[in-house]
Amino acid sequence: MLGLVREVAGSLGGAGIAEGRFTASAAAVVGGAGEVTVVPAGLEADFLAPLDISLLPVGQEILERLRLLGLDMIGEVACISLGDLISQFGAQGKRLWQLCNGIDEPPLLPRPRVEFLEQQMQLEAPVAGVEVLVACGRQLLSRLSTPLRGRAVRELSIRAELESGGRTWEKRVVFREAISDNDRLAFVLKSVLNASTPPRPVVAMSLRLASLAAESGKQLSFDDRSRVRRQIEEAIRQLKTRYGFSPIYRCVDVEPWSAIPEDRQILVESDA
């Protein structure tokens, strides 16, 4: 395996074998180039204890706060109680406590497959008029309608290659709700091009539909609460599509009986 890494990357790295991802990655770093370090099951905490906290997969802010508290080794962090770490670092405190104690429960998952549909068009002559660009965009949407049939999209990207210099112009739109209707997609396309026209004549144009989802109907309700809840969930999905994570958090009771306010609740990422 190390030989293959050397052949592909041009350098010889180390390898680590353990029950959890973090312990295995730490073992690979500690072992050094060309070495295979094996951490037996049940000895993860003992192996990690003397290592520097810089190996922890956390943000720089957390590492700085740990050092301000005089905690430089992973074993020193492991000695702190779970409640104290949660009170200091919120939801990340639990994950920090688990890693430092050799607990790495999340399984290794493959990178999710990003599915998208794309069509492009080469123009015979440079085009500058918005109406012509809209017509080209509609033609591209028409080509995409067959593979899109039965599905909806949350993201539309318009990309144009500009005349001279090989420069490109691109606009990305994330919808508030998934769209499956071709006319609505054409309306969004026209609105984007009217609001922001490419600065130079266009010699090629492409459309990309991403974040594909199954087409679904809407169930109407007389209950305002249900309608508001659906709108909130749809807004969270839109934000997660745009940023890659949900910036919305919700409070979860942990120890509501605790005398320390910080121990009663933690913030957890909200995912609709």
Task: Give the CATH number of the domain where residue 170 resides.
Answer: 3.30.1490.100
Q: What value does the mean pLDDT of the chain take?
A: 81
Predicted local confidence at residue 108, as pLDDT: 65
Structural domain of residue 46, as residue ranges? 2-100
Determine, yes or no, domain membership for 105.
no
Residue 52: the pLDDT is 94
Q: How far out from the chain centre does Cα 205 lie?
A: 27
Question: What is the reported pTM?
Answer: 0.47
Tokens of 72: 């430089």
35: pLDDT strictly greater than 90: no
- Whether residue 91 is found in the same domain as residue 122: no
Residues 187 and 229 in one domain: no
Mean pLDDT: which of 9-23, 63-77, 128-142 is highest? 63-77
Q: How many domains would you assign to the chain?
A: 3
Do 234 and 182 have their domain in common? no
From 100, 132, 154, the end of a domain falls on 100
What is the SS3 string spanning the chain?
A: CHHHHHHHHCCCCCEEECCCHHHHHHHHHHHCCCCEEECCCCCHHHHHCCCEHHHCCCCHHHHHHHHHCCCCEHHHHHCCCHHHHHHHHCHHHHHHHHHHCCCCCCCCCCCCCCCEEEEEEEEEEEECCHHHHHHHHHHHHHHHHHHHCCEEEEEEEEEEEECCCCCEEEEEEEEEEEECCHHHHHHHHHHHHHHCCCCCCEEEEEEEEEEEEECCCCCCCCCHHHHHHHHHHHHHHHHHHHHCCCCCEEEEECCCCCCCHHHHEEEEECCC
Establish if 34 belongs to a structural domain.
yes
Confidence at residue 56, expressed as pLDDT on a 0 to 100 scale = 92
Is the pLDDT score of 250 beyond 70?
A: no
The CATH number of residue 51's host domain is: 1.10.150.20
pLDDT of residue 267: 65
Using pLDDT thresholds of 50, 70 and 90, give the confidence band for residue 268. Answer: low
* 4 has pLDDT over 60: no
Residues 17 and 95 in one domain: yes
Q: Name the more confident of 167 and 222.
A: 167
